[in-house]
């Protein structure tokens, strides 16, 4: 009598919980509660149900096994479960997993409980009975998942600035949501032109629909947060969803400027490209770069305010620029810059940094003249070749030495090399070599001037010139030698005539 009364009482207690399901079968078994622990979101998704099944019989069931079958557009994933015994009044929890092919469909779950023995203990006696099978049927409706999503943009806010923050609530499910209430509670944020907490009522949000709430917020701390609480009716049940979006107040764009090339040669107008890269996560709108050349510096820019426009994340903008670099400039020149831009949320950001330009002042030698004295080279006559070298670079040339390489028949008198040493900018020097041609002909003479700049880089200046050697002309000082012969012959004739006159006068033999 007592057991029957207890069974009636338990039945009365659990009956209101089974609002959508109906059980049938042996009265010793009953379903205490049904709860969807995972609701399928779409057709073909998997859902899970927690079933609390009680046993209110008189005997202990031994060797119990249970399985769940389903009728309707779904199938049970998993097999049979077993447990050694089931005491009277004990509640077992089943969590069958269902693969559901239709949202909103009605299902009938059948829990088949099978046991091998029944054991009853009464007044010190144990009574063992035969096993049996019972089936408990439950009717279920597949509820589906509302699937509301919350998207807050941007997550990175500009500090000390009013940011436009957009909160988008979208119904990504397959059924409408009614009486949606959106509560926005800022944490570390000051909302402009809006009450706190901000409540927005949406009567109906259809599947695929989106409700957008836009606020103006100034971050008060480094890591503010926005708490979004959603309350809505779904299939006549009040559902709640609470999302806390953590935000960050800091540089949103992180624009980095650099100069290409970073090395410039002193003495002239040079062209460079200022490259600005967005290494942040949000686009930089209407970016402007302002250059501040060093006041005591020597380099001059043709433009100091550069309009960059919009720079997307991981994007880059290149602006050509002309730099006037004096010949006296040396070393690294640091140019400060400030880049200002607006974030998509309306925040105004200023970032600063500096460009570094390395100014190189290399030495550069040029051979400005090659003098050959005498200009007409004669065979076996020494001629002097003078190379005039000028340092047209911006810094001192060091370790200057010149070498001459001539063909075999053009002898280099003394030495074929000459060490000069140092040469200051705009300074000329003359390097002389002596040559002696051994034969007539045209000789190609190669020269090489090697020097080092202050950075230790070796340079070589090579060239060639041509020497034409001719034989020397012999100058005979006698004028008109033929006339001299004639005069000599006349003298001889006169002498012979005089001798003939004497012979004729005095005779040949003595008398």
Which residues of the chain form contacts with another protein (CB under 8 A)? 474, 476, 478, 481-482, 484-485, 487-489, 491-492, 494-496, 498-499, 502-503, 505-510
Q: Which is nearer to another protein, 24 or 495 (CB)?
A: 495
The Cα 89–Cα 59 span in angstroms is 10
Nearest distance, CB of residue 482 and another protein, angstroms: 6
Backbone torsions φ then ψ of 431, nearest 5 degrees: -115, 120
**Closest to another protein by CB, 237 or 505:** 505
Query: Nearest distance from residue 406's CB to another protein, in Å?
Result: 26
Minimum distance of another protein from residue 451's CB (angstroms)? 46
Rounded to a whole number of angstroms, the minimum distance from the CB of residue 490 to another protein is 9
Nearest residue (CB) to another protein, 196 versus 499:
499
Residue 271, H or E segment: strand 268-278
| Phi, psi torsion values for 506, nearest 5 degrees | -95, -10
Burial class of 484 by CB neighbour count within 10 A (0 to 12, 13 to 18, 19+)? exposed
| Residue-wise DSSP of 152-213 | EE-SEE-TTS-EEEEEEEEE-SSS-EEEEEEEEEEESEEEESS-SSEEEEEEEE-TT-EEEE
Query: CA–CA separation, 139 vs 26, rounded Å?
Result: 16
CA distances from 66 to 95, 136, 184, 326 (A): 12, 11, 48, 94
Contacts with 42 (C-beta within 8 Å, 6 or more apart), sequence order: 103, 174
If the CB atoms of residues 375 and 475 are measured against another protein, the closer one turns out to be: 475
Separation of alpha carbons 51 and 98, rounded Å:
13
Residue number with CB closer to another protein (414 or 511): 511
Nearer to another protein, 6 or 492 (CB): 492
Minimum Å gap between C-beta 411 and another protein is: 20
Least distance (Å) from another protein to the CB of residue 497? 10
**Distance in angstroms (rounded) separating the CA atoms of residues 48 and 40:** 8
- Residue with smaller CB distance to another protein, 238 or 474: 474
CB of 410 to another protein, least distance (A): 22
């Amino acid at each position: 009598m007592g057991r029957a009364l207890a069974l009636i009482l338990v039945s009365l207690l659990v009956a209101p919980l089974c609002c959508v399901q109906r059980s049938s079968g042996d009265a010793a078994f009953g379903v205490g509660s049904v709860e969807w622990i995972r609701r399928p979101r779409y057709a073909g998704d998997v859902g899970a149900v927690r079933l609390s099944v009680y046993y209110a019989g008189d005997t202990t069931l031994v060797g119990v096994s249970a399985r769940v079958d389903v009728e309707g557009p779904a199938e049970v994933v998993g097999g049979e479960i077993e447990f050694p015994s089931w005491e009277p009044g004990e509640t077992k929890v089943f969590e069958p997993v269902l693969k559901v092919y239709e949202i909103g469909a009605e299902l009938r779950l059948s829990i088949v409980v099978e046991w091998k023995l029944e054991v009853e203990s009464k007044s010190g006696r144990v009574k063992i009975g035969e096993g049996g099978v019972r089936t408990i049927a439950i009717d279920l409706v597949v509820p589906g998942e509302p699937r509301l999503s919350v998207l807050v943009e941007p997550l990175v806010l500009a500090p000390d600035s009013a940011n436009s923050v957009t909160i988008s609530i979208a119904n990504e499910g397959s059924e409408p949501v009614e009486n949606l209430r959106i509560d926005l509670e800022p944490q570390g944020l000051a909302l402009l032109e809006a009450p706190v907490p901000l409540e927005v009522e949406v009567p109906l949000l259809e599947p695929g629909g989106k409700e957008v709430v836009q606020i103006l917020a100034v971050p008060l701390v480094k890591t503010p947060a926005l708490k979004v609480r959603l309350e809505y009716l779904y299939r006549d049940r009040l559902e709640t969803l609470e999302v806390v979006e953590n935000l960050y107040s800091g540089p949103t764009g992180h624009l980095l400027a650099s100069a290409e090339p970073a090395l410039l040669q002193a003495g002239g107008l040079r062209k460079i490209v200022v490259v600005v890269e967005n290494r942040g996560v949000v686009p930089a709108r209407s970016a402007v770069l302002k250059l501040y050349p060093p006041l005591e510096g020597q380099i001059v820019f043709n433009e100091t305010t550069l309009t960059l426009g919009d720079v997307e994340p991981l994007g880059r903008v290149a602006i050509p620029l002309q730099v006037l670099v004096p010949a006296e400039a040396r070393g690294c020149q640091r140019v400060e810059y400030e880049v200002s831009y607006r974030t998509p949320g309306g925040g105004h950001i200023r970032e600063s940094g500096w460009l570094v330009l390395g100014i190189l002042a290399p030495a550069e030698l040029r051979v400005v003249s090659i003098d050959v004295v005498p200009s007409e080279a004669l065979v076996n006559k020494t001629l002097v070749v003078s190379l005039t070298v000028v340092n047209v670079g911006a810094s001192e040339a060091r370790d200057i030495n010149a070498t001459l390489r001539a063909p075999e028949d053009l002898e280099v008198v003394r030495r074929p090399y000459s060490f000069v040493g140092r040469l200051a900018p705009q300074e000329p020097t003359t390097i002389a070599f002596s040559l002696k041609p051994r034969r007539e002909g045209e000789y190609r003479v190669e020269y090489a001037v090697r020097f080092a700049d202050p950075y230790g880089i070796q340079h070589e200046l090579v060239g060639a010139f041509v020497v034409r050697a001719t034989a020397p002309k012999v100058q005979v000082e006698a004028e008109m030698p033929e006339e001299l012969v004639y005069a000599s012959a006349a003298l001889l004739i006169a002498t012979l005539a005089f001798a003939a006159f004497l012979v004729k006068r005095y005779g040949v033999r003595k008398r």
